[in-house]
Amino acid sequence: MNTKLRSLAFAAALLLASVLTAQSREFKAGKSLDIQFSVLRELSLFYVDTIQVDKLVQTGINAMVESLDPYTVYIPEEDEESIELLTTGSYGGIGALIKKVDGGVEISEIYENSPAAKAGLVAGDIILRIDSLPTAGLNVEQCSSKMKGTPGVVVTFVIKKLRGGETKEIKIARERVHFPDVAYWGMVNDTVGYIRITSFTLDGAKDVKNAVVNLKKSGKIKRLVLDLRGNGGGLLDEAVNIVSIFVPSGTKVVSALGRQKQTDAIYYTKEEPTDTALPLIVLVNSGSASSSEIVAGALQDLDRATIIGTRTFGKGLVQSIRDVGYNNKIKLTTAKYYTPSGRCVQAIDYSNRNEDGSVGNIPDSLIRPFKTSKGRVVYDGGGIAPDVKIEAESYSRPSLSLLYNDILRDYSIIYFKDHLSIDSPSKFKLSDEEFEKFIEYAVGREFDHRTASEVDYDRLMATAKKEGLITELDSGLKQLESKVKLGKSGSIRINGKEIKALLEEEIVNRYYFQRGRIESIIRNDKQLKEAIGAELIKF
């Protein structure tokens, strides 16, 4: 056989192998679908109780996608509203959060400029009826579904007012409620500007650009902080648009590479920048994920910003929403994204995660070096490692317990009921006398008030009893017990500074909404203060 014939024979063999492989895949898929249909048929015909086949199929689909990664999810037709909220930051409703209470549902929070706010509703009002339907027999989800829906539709509420206690009928027309990506912007001191970005939804970059323009108008700004802490991400295009505010047009920001060529893309900035010289600080933590990591990683690789905080979450996956028929959709992972230096932000090992889901410890052998545009060395392995590491201040156990049990929130409503107005968010402070009233209230509520020391003491006691040492230690234990067993009021007082600050934030939120809460938070934000005072990288 000559060379030409051998080449033809080899090519034919490769083609045949490819065809057989494709046929094998198709056969296996067809076989699996036949088996699935047969199982469903047998269950629907012969299972001892009546079953709902559609729900059974949905359970199977959910289990199937959950086995792939944490981000691929099936979205049934009835959850279409969640797609709108995910991509636009908007939904049809009145703009209120609710919680179940005896006799109805309580308004837990009101969004600024929402239909609920315009109608005069406040946190602490009780909803007794929604469109003549009593709320006492409904759960939170049922009430929420009646409050949300098509904009323009009028919903009738019967409300027991927090202030005054009278019962009123209030009609509210639903509107398109929007959660802005920029939750707050302002000057934190004479020379440092601050922008808190909480998500990446449609046109969110315009809000960021508007904040930058307004901050620059003072002419005093010398540094700008972009706060991405706790920002779980969103639209990739908006991340690119935010980067474009600070780098020249035509700059490469991120690459997305998948199994199918149609999912591959390279994203460049298109708009002319607003400022390419203003020193930037990007503040991140383990809750900064996805699009947040694109912004942080790109600005780091382009030597445009100093990244400060702790390592980011490590989600370098791109999700696409695809139609699967009958108005049902699937949000599935189609690509991984790479920063300008070539780093993949995705954590190498899905299983190697911390309790909050963020990147765990990565062995040095699995970490590779990359270089920024000016030659600085950065590394992959999962998430974006900060240029300057500053740990966030942790909260005590009693503080977290008061927060998670809604005791701080509930008292803020009591305070709001008794005080028609308060000082501005940046100035409001509780007096010592007012804080003592809170302590008196909190002592009457159930919560785990034990400090970390008391928890350790309880463990020591349990171990000592098991080992039969309790009598030998008895004389010293009573003295130790008196120091660690503080009781409710004692545990609040010993952590009074942070608890008081948290309570002030809750109270400010009642009067000035989330915007005011953030302004109150940054007064006591130790991580932010250290970041502002940190020495920035000179590019």
461 near 477, Cβ under 8 Å?
yes
Q: What is the largest CA-CA distance in the chain?
A: 101
Closest to 425 (Cα-Cα) out of 522, 520, 524 = 520
290 annotated active-site: yes
What one-letter code names the amino acid at 316? G
**pLDDT one-digit tens code per residue, 347-362:** 766 556 677 767 767 7
**pLDDT one-digit tens code per residue, 126-142:** 999 999 899 998 999 99
Among 288, 290, 292, 520, the one annotated catalytic: 290
389 annotated active-site: no
**pLDDT one-digit tens code per residue, 193-223:** 999 999 999 999 999 999 999 999 988 999 9
What are the start-end ranges of the E strands in 241-297?
Answer: 252-258, 265-268, 280-284
Q: If pLDDT is split at 50, 70 and 90, which confidence band does 451 have?
A: very high
pLDDT at 259: 85
408 near 506, Cβ under 8 Å?
yes
N- to C-terminal Cα separation, the chain: 65
377 near 387, Cβ under 8 Å?
no
**Residue corresponding to tokens 């308060």:** 422
How many CB atoms lie under 10 A from the CB of residue 144?
A: 16
315 annotated active-site: yes
pLDDT at 283: 98
pLDDT at 217: 94
Strand partners, 370: 378
pLDDT at 25: 67
3-state secondary structure 287-308: CCCCHHHHHHHHHHHCCCEEEE
262 near 301, Cβ under 8 Å?
no
Confidence check: pLDDT of 13 > 80:
no
- Cα–Cα–Cα angle for 514, 220, 222, nearest 5°? 85
**pLDDT one-digit tens code per residue, 268-313:** 999 999 999 999 999 999 999 999 999 999 999 999 999 999 999 9
Among 252, 315, 488, 500, the one annotated catalytic: 315
DSSP H helical ranges for 380-495: 397-404, 407-418, 432-443, 452-466, 470-484, 487-494
* Greater model confidence, 71 or 25: 71
Q: In the chain, what percentage of residues exceed pLDDT 90?
A: 68
- Cα–Cα–Cα angle for 67, 68, 70, nearest 5°? 90
Closest to 439 (Cα-Cα) out of 493, 481, 501 = 493
Confidence check: pLDDT of 15 > 80:
no
How far apart, in Å, are the Cα atoms of 3 and each of 6, 180, 325, 383, 418?
A: 5, 68, 51, 52, 95
Among 207, 227, 301, 380, the one annotated catalytic: 301
pLDDT at 194: 98
Q: Distance (Å, rounded) from C-alpha 47 to C-alpha 34? A: 19
Confidence check: pLDDT of 480 > 90:
no
Mean pLDDT of all residues belonging to the chain: 90
Confidence check: pLDDT of 473 > 60:
no
